[in-house]
Amino acid sequence: MGKTLFDKIWDNHVVSTLKGGTDVLYIDKHFIHEVTSPQAFDGLRKRNIQVFRQDKTVATADHNVPTINQHLPIKDDLSRFQVQKLTDNCKEFGVTLYGLGHDFQGIVHVIGPELGITQPGMTIVCGDSHTSTHGAFGAIAFGIGTSQVEQVLCSQCVLQTKPKRMRISIEGELNPGVLSKDIILYIISKLTASGGTGYFVEYAGSTIRSLSMEARMTVCNMSIEMGARGGMIAPDEKTFNYVRGRKFAPKEKEFDQALKYWKTLYTDKDAIFDKEYTFSAADIAPMITYGTNPGMGVEITGHVPTLEEIENPKTFNKSLDYMGLEAGESLLGKKINHVFIGSCTNARIEDLRMVADYLKGKQKADHVQVMLIPGSKQVEQQAISEGLDKVFAEAGFVLREPGCSACLGMNEDKIPSGEYCVSTSNRNFEGRQGPGARTLLASPLTAAACAVAGKIVDIRETLDL
Amino acid sequence: MKKYESFVSSAVPLPIQEIDTDQIIPARFLKATTREGFGENLFRDWRYLPGNVPNPDFILNDTVYGGEILVAGKNFGCGSSREHAAWALYDFGFKAVISSFFADIFKGNALNNGLLPITVSPKLLDEIFEKIETNPKSQFKVDLENQKFTILDTGKSTSFEVDPYKKMCLLNGYDDIDYLLSIQDSIEAFEANQVTF
C-alpha cells in the first residue's frame, strides 16, 4: 500500500518507538522566540547541559516587541526583560538570534520561509501553535509547549504520538474576491474548532495547487484553529522555485540533490487517509467570523446563526454576549472602529501588495484606526522599495515595524474593550486582541475594504469585477 | 516532577465548551520567565471585572465550589500552545481536568506538568456536572495507577485512557528529558544515517 506525504516524512524521522506507540521524532529545525523559551533554557541550566544542535536552532524576537520605534529601548519593563533574556540565553547557549534591529528579524513563521530555512521534507517545531504555517512547503511542522522546547534543545527530538491522517481537497476555480484566508475560514466553519483534533491534515486539490506559496502558508497557518496538529501541502514547482536562491536554501549541486528528494514528496495514489473531505471552490465566498472561536464564521453576506441552527446555546449565547451581537443578525453594514492587518497568517509581501493595490486612490474612513504590521524586516523593506508605504500613507494607513502585535496583544498594540476590529489574524477568542476587544476575522482584502468603508462590506461590491 | 498519587477531592464545574488557552491565561501575563506564579492570573478576564474586582458570577470566586479537579466542556485547552495554561492550572491547585475532549497540545503540556487530563464520555461529563450542581461538595476519586475515576457518592467508576509511557513518567515523577538524555547514542546514530543537503 502507498504512503501519504505525511507518513513519508514522519517515518523518515523516527529514531525509535516506545511501548505504547510514542515515537522519538527527530527535528530538523527548531525555531524559538522570547515568550515560550526562557523556562526551557532555565531547565538546561539546572541540568548543566548544552544545546544539543546549535546549528538546527534559530531564534527571533516577535511576540512581545513594539511595532514603533524598535530602535529605542522597549518601554515596558517585563517585555524588555523577556526580550533581553532571549538575547542572553542565545549568547550563552550559542544559538543564532535574529533579534530586534537585525535585517532578518520578524514573525518566526514569516522569516523561516523567506530565509529558505524552511524546506520540503523537514520536521520543524516551535513553541507556537502556528508553526503549522511551514507545512505549506511539504514539511511536518507543529507547535509544542515549553517542556518540549526543552526536549528539543537538549536532544533535537520530541516524544510524540503519531496523529491520524486527514485530507482536505478543494477543487475548482476560486470566485473573484475570494482569497486563501476565505478558504481556510470556510473549512474551519464546516469542520468546527475541534474537527481536526487528533489529525494531521494534507490540503490538496486543484484550488490548493493554484495558490501561491504565500497563500498556501495562510491555509496551513490556521490548521490549528480546527484543532489539527498541523497542515501540509505537497511541494511542487512553485515550492521549489520559491525556495531556490534563498539565503539558507541548498545551493547548486546540493540544491539539485535536494530537489531529487523533494520530488518524491507526495501522497501515493493508493495511500489511505483516516478521514477525507472534499469541497468545491465555487461554494466559497468571502468569509467573516462573528463569534469567539475561528469555527464561528459565515459568508460575509450571511447572518449570525439563529438559536435553532446551533447545538450548544450556552456557549453560543456567551459568545454573542461578548461580541455584542444578536442571533440571526446580519453583519453587513455593521460599524467598525479598528482594522488590523498583520500576523503570521497575513503579513507577507503578497498580502501587503494586495492591500496596497486595492487602496490606490482610496482613503480609510475617519473613525477607523488601522494597524498595518509587516511580518518581517524583509517584508517591510520590500514594501518600502516597491513604494507600497506611500500608497498606504495616502490611504491613511501607517506601515509599522514587524512583530506579532495586536494578533495577541502582548505588546501595547491592543484593541479597546467593546470595540470591533476586522482582523487578518487567526484568533477571535475573548480578549485575544485586548481585554473586551471584539475581533472579526477576515481576509486582507476584506479588512482593507472595511477600513475604507468604516463598516463591514462585501469586498465583491467594491471591486471592478 | 512530583510523583502523581491517587487522591479524593471535590470538583469545580465550568460547563463551557471550547475554552481556549487565552482564557486560561491571557497573553499579557506571559511575560514572566519562570514557571511559577501563573495561578494568580488563571482565568483572569473571567475571574475579575474591570478594576480588578472579583467577578461574583465566576465559579472560582464562589466559595461553595472548590477542589483539585476542574470539570470543563469539550475541546478544553484549544488555541495557543502556551504551556503557561497548564502551569497556571497547576499553580492554582488543580491536579486533574475532566472533559469529554481535550485539544492535543494542551493535553501534552498538562501531562508534562503533573496535571492529569481525564477524558470521559459526553454523557458522563453531564452526569458529573449534575452531580456537582446537586451537591457542590460531591467527592471524586482520581486513581491514575488503575486508570479509574470514581464518583464516590454513587460508587460509579469509569476507566480512562492514558498513554502508558506518560503514566509511567507521572507515577514515578520522571520527565521526558531524563529519557531523551539517556538515548543520546541512538539519536547520534540516527543523525549519522540521515541524508542532509
Residue in chain A closest to B108 (alpha carbons) equals A145
Q: Which of B44, B45, B78 to mutate to test the interface with A (most CBs of A within 10 A)?
A: B78
Angle CA A286–A287–A288, to nearest 5 = 135
The whole-angstrom separation of Cα B72 and Cα B18 is: 9
Q: Is A11 on the interface with B (CB under 8 A)?
A: no
Return d(Cα B43, Cα B33) in angstroms, integer. 19
Predicted pLDDT of residue A464: 72
CB B10, CB B138: distance < 8 Å? yes
Pair A271, A300 in one domain: no
Rounded Cα distance between A5 and A272, Å, is 11
| Boundary-marking domain end, from A283, A303, A336 | A283
Confidence of residue A277 (pLDDT cuts 50, 70, 90): very high
CA torsion, points A456, A462, A463, A465, in degrees to nearest 10? Answer: 110
Contacts of A137 in chain B (CB under 8 A): none
Q: Across chain A, which distance is largest between two alpha carbons, in Å?
A: 64
Q: How confident is the model at residue B197 (pLDDT cuts 50, 70, 90)?
A: confident
Give the pLDDT confidence of B130-160 residue by residue, as tens digits: 999 999 999 999 999 999 999 999 999 999 9
Are the CB atoms for B16 and A315 separated by under 8 Å? yes
Residue A278 lies in a domain: yes
B196 pLDDT above the threshold of 90: no
> How far, in Å, CA of A327 to CA of A305, rounded?
6
Q: List the single residue in B with minimal CA-CA distance to A37.
A: B33
Cell 521526558: give the residue: B176
Band (pLDDT 50/70/90 cuts) for residue B21 is very high
Q: What is the tally of structural domains in chain A?
A: 3
Q: Does A127 lie at the interface with B, CB-CB under 8 angstroms?
A: yes
Does B20 sit within 8 Å of A431, measured CB to CB?
no
Which three-class secondary structure state does DSSP give residue A135? Answer: helix
CA separation for the pair A121, A101 (Å, rounded): 31
| Interval A442-464: pLDDT, tens | 999 999 999 999 999 999 999 87
CB-based contact, A248 to chain B, within 8 Å: no
- DSSP letter, residue A158: E
Q: What are phi and psi of B46, to 5 degrees?
A: -95, -30
B141 Cα to chain A: minimum distance (Å): 25
Check whether residue A342 and residue A224 sit in a common domain: no
Verify that A297 and A272 share a domain, yes or no. no
Q: What is the CATH number of the domain that holds A410?
A: 3.30.499.10
What is the nearest CA distance from B100 to chain A, expressed in angstroms? 12
Alpha helices in B95-175 (DSSP H): 104-111, 122-134, 164-172
Instruction: For A377, list phi and psi in degrees, rounded to 5.
Output: -60, -40
Do both A192 and A320 map to the same domain?
no
Q: If you search the block for the grid coordinates 474548532, which residue do you land on? A: A193
A170 and A229: one domain?
yes
Q: At what angle do helices A444-453 and A349-359 cross, to 10 degrees?
A: 30
DSSP secondary structure code for residue A70 in this structure: T
Pairing of strands B7-9, B140-143: antiparallel
Q: Which residues from A are below 8 Å from B79, CB to CB?
A: 129, 224-225, 427, 429
Q: CA B150: distance to chain centroid?
A: 17
Q: Do A134 and A216 fall into the same domain? A: no
Written as one letter, the residue type at B67 is G
**Please, which residues have CB within 8 angstroms of residue B103's CB and are 6 or more apart in sequence?**
A194, A197, A227, B75, B76, B77, B78, B79
Contact A427 B26 (CB under 8 A): no
Q: Angle at which helices A377-385 and A388-395 pack, to 10 degrees?
A: 90
The per-residue pLDDT for A19 is 86
Task: Dig out the grid coordinates for A406 from the structure.
Answer: 495586536
Q: Verify whether the Cβ–Cβ distance B31 to A148 is below 8 Å.
A: no
In terms of Cα–Cα distance, which of A435, A406, A440, A434 is closest to A420?
A: A440
Q: CA A263, CA B87: separation in Å to the nearest integer?
A: 43
| Inter-chain residue contact A435 with B109, CB threshold 8 Å | no
Q: ipTM for the complex?
A: 0.96
Boundary (domain end) residue, out of A114, A131, A160: A160
Q: Tens digit of pLDDT for each residue in A32-74?
A: 999 999 999 999 999 999 999 999 999 999 999 999 999 999 9
Q: What percent of chain B has pLDDT over 90?
A: 96
- A410 touching B, CB under 8 A? yes
- 3-class secondary structure, A63: coil
Do both A139 and A197 map to the same domain?
no
Which of the pair, A315 or A336, is modelled with greater confidence? A336
Model confidence at A246: pLDDT above 80:
yes
Residues 194 through 213 of chain A touching chain B, CB cutoff 8 Å:
194, 197-198
> For A291-308, what is each residue's pLDDT tens digit?
999 999 999 999 999 999
Rounded to the nearest angstrom, the minimum Cα separation between B171 and chain A is 16
As a residue count, chain A comes to: 465
Give the CATH number, domain containing residue A221: 3.40.1060.10
* Same domain assignment for residues A223 and A79: no
A152 and A169, same domain (yes or no): no
Going by DSSP bridges, is the β-strand pair A420-423/A140-143 parallel, antiparallel, or unpaired?
unpaired
**Subunit contact B112:A79, Cβ cutoff 8 A:** no
Q: Which tens digits make up the pLDDT trace of B176-193?
A: 999 999 999 999 999 999
Can you state the angle between helices A377-385 and A349-359, rounded to 10 degrees? 40
Averaged pLDDT, A251-259: 96
Q: Do A438 and A454 fall within a single domain?
A: yes
DSSP letter string, B65-112: ---SEEEE-SSBTBS---THHHHHHHHHT--EEEES-B-HHHHHHHHT
Residue A439 within any structural domain of the chain: yes
The number of beta carbons lying within 10 Å of the beta carbon of residue A194 is 21
Taking residues A344-370, what's their average pLDDT?
98
As to burial, measured by CB atoms within 10 angstroms (0-12 exposed, 13-18 middle, 19+ buried), residue A419 is middle
Domain boundary, last residue among A103, A126, A160: A160
Closest Cα in chain B, distance from residue A227 (Å): 6
Q: Give yes or no: residues A359 and A409 share one domain.
A: yes
Mean pLDDT of chain A: 97
- The reply to whether A217 and A181 lie within a common domain is yes
What cell does A303 get? 447572518
Asked whether residue A246 is domain-assigned, the answer is: no
Band (pLDDT 50/70/90 cuts) for residue B76 is: very high
Domain-embedded: residue A245: no
Tell me if B181 and A82 make a contact (CB, 8 A cut-off). no
Instruction: Give the pLDDT band of residue A465 (cuts 50, 70, 90).
Output: low
In angstroms, what separates the C-alpha of B194 from chain A's closest C-alpha? Answer: 9
Whether A430 sits inside 8 A of B197 (CB atoms) is: no
Name the closest residue on chain A to residue B102, using Cα atoms. Answer: A197
Are A151 and B176 in contact (CB < 8 Å)? yes
Question: In this predicted structure, what is the pLDDT of residue A261?
Answer: 97
DSSP state letter for A211: S
Can you tell me the mean pLDDT for B55-84? 97
Q: Is any Cβ of chain B less than 8 angstroms from the Cβ of A105?
A: no
Shortest Cα distance, chain B CAs vs residue A383, angstroms: 29
Out of A159, A198, A254, the one facing B176 most closely (by C-beta) is A159
Amino acid, res. A339: V
Cα of A198 vs its chain's centroid, Å? 19
Give the C-alpha separation, B197 to A256, whole Å. Answer: 9
Which residues of B are less than 8 Å from A427 in CB distance?
Answer: 20, 22, 79-80
Domain that includes residue A275, residue range? 164-238+252-283
- Closest Cα of chain B to A19: distance in Å? 7
Q: What is the mean pLDDT of residues A108-134?
A: 98
Residue A247 lies in a domain: no
